[in-house]
Chains A and B, each alone.
Chain A
């Protein structure tokens, strides 16, 4: 799958990029906040976005509906340590494909990518 990685931590993006590449996916873009995510998403048309929730400027929660408005078919997995029940519901209501809660095993990410 063509993947866009969105996380404000460059080291996390590098690590995730290595893992996704090893799994056979192609990382077509990276972004460090929600605004950049929308820009890169429009330019690269990824099939999948791994979207961090807590970021500067625009959070993943805010960026999610904007990304879905650009391409309703895009799969968006929220990656976050936030596990508040009402926020989980809000993310799903706004179109998240799944929520991957930190910490996770790479095998769990791989399984999730096979399911979606």
Chain B
């Protein structure tokens, strides 16, 4: 993995997500932006550590199987629920002690849209296709999320971790979230070989 290859992956993800967030900004009540993208190597737990676990985190995730095995995860701070719901649905969901079913559904829908955008960008660049699983939801601290998401991902496997940090703003409230792709090394190398004409 070289600095240049990371730039390829970062650009691919940032471009794909920027288009998606521009679209979400147009149809929703908030302003959504990509703060930046980064690439590192590590395990599922290393990927989840990209989130600042001040509180329990809410995670939405899905997997792709077959020729292009990937896992996409989106991490939110449930304390930001009021801002997230205002930005996405136009209505504030005042967050209580626990995440309600309506909040879970909203985060799952939002995560599904953003994660698909992340994955679509990678697969379109490779001219491959893969249907994601149904998005799943989990909430908890780092260990709890690692255990839960680890039911569908090999926790010992090393991945190329592509992380995009997102920000969302409505009125005076601001929140952030992370969209993460766990890319097996072989697939990451295929992506690095892409030339700019392939959409990077």
Is A93 located at the chain interface by the 8 A CB criterion?
Answer: no
In the bound complex, do residue A85 and residue B134 qualify as a contact, i.e. CB atoms below 8 Å apart? Answer: no
Are A103 and B129 CB-contacts (below 8 A) given A54-B134, A82-B116? no
Is B54 located at the chain interface by the 8 A CB criterion?
Answer: no
In the bound complex, do residue B128 and residue A86 qualify as a contact, i.e. CB atoms below 8 Å apart? Answer: yes
CA distance A81 to B108 in the complex (A): 12
State the Cβ distance, A93 to closest chain B Cβ, in Å.
13
CA distance A102 to B112 in the complex (A): 9
Is A97 located at the chain interface by the 8 A CB criterion?
Answer: no
Select which of A11, A90, A105 is within 8 A of B102 by beta carbon: A11
In the bound complex, do residue B131 and residue A55 qualify as a contact, i.e. CB atoms below 8 Å apart? Answer: no
Are A86 and B129 CB-contacts (below 8 A) given A9-B109, A55-B134? yes
- CB-CB under 8 A from B113, the residues of chain A are 81, 102-103
Are A82 and B23 CB-contacts (below 8 A) given A9-B109, A11-B105, A102-B113? no
In the bound complex, do residue A85 and residue B124 qualify as a contact, i.e. CB atoms below 8 Å apart? Answer: yes
In the bound complex, do residue B124 and residue A105 qualify as a contact, i.e. CB atoms below 8 Å apart? Answer: no
State the Cβ distance, B138 to closest chain A Cβ, in Å.
17
Chain A residue with Cβ nearest B133: A54
Are A84 and B124 CB-contacts (below 8 A) given A103-B24, A103-B28? yes
CA distance A102 to B27 in the complex (A): 10
* Residues 67-88 of chain A, each 1 if its beta carbon lies under 8 Å from chain B, else 0: 0000000000000011111110
Residues of A within 8 Å of B, CB-based: how many? 22
Tier of interface size on chain B: 20 to 34
Chain A residue with Cβ nearest B115: A81
Q: Is the interface of A mostly helix, strand, loop or mixed?
A: loop
Select which of B109, B120, B127 is within 8 A of A12 by beta carbon: B109
State the Cβ distance, B30 to closest chain A Cβ, in Å.
12
Select which of B27, B124, B127, B130 is within 8 A of A104 by beta carbon: B27
CA distance A113 to B119 in the complex (A): 29
Is B132 located at the chain interface by the 8 A CB criterion?
Answer: yes
- CB-CB under 8 A from A53, the residues of chain B are 131
CA distance A53 to B134 in the complex (A): 10
In the bound complex, do residue A8 and residue B116 qualify as a contact, i.e. CB atoms below 8 Å apart? Answer: no
Chain B residue with Cβ nearest A11: B105
In the bound complex, do residue B117 and residue A83 qualify as a contact, i.e. CB atoms below 8 Å apart? Answer: yes
State the Cβ distance, A52 to closest chain B Cβ, in Å.
10
In the bound complex, do residue A85 and residue B27 qualify as a contact, i.e. CB atoms below 8 Å apart? Answer: no
Select which of A8, A11, A59, A102 is within 8 A of B131 by beta carbon: A59
A sample of 5 inter-chain contacts (CB < 8 A) reads: A53-B131, A82-B120, A82-B132, A102-B112, A103-B27
Interface residues in chain B, defined as those with a beta carbon under 8 Å from any beta carbon in chain A:
23-24, 26-28, 102, 105, 109, 112-113, 116-117, 119-120, 123-124, 127-135
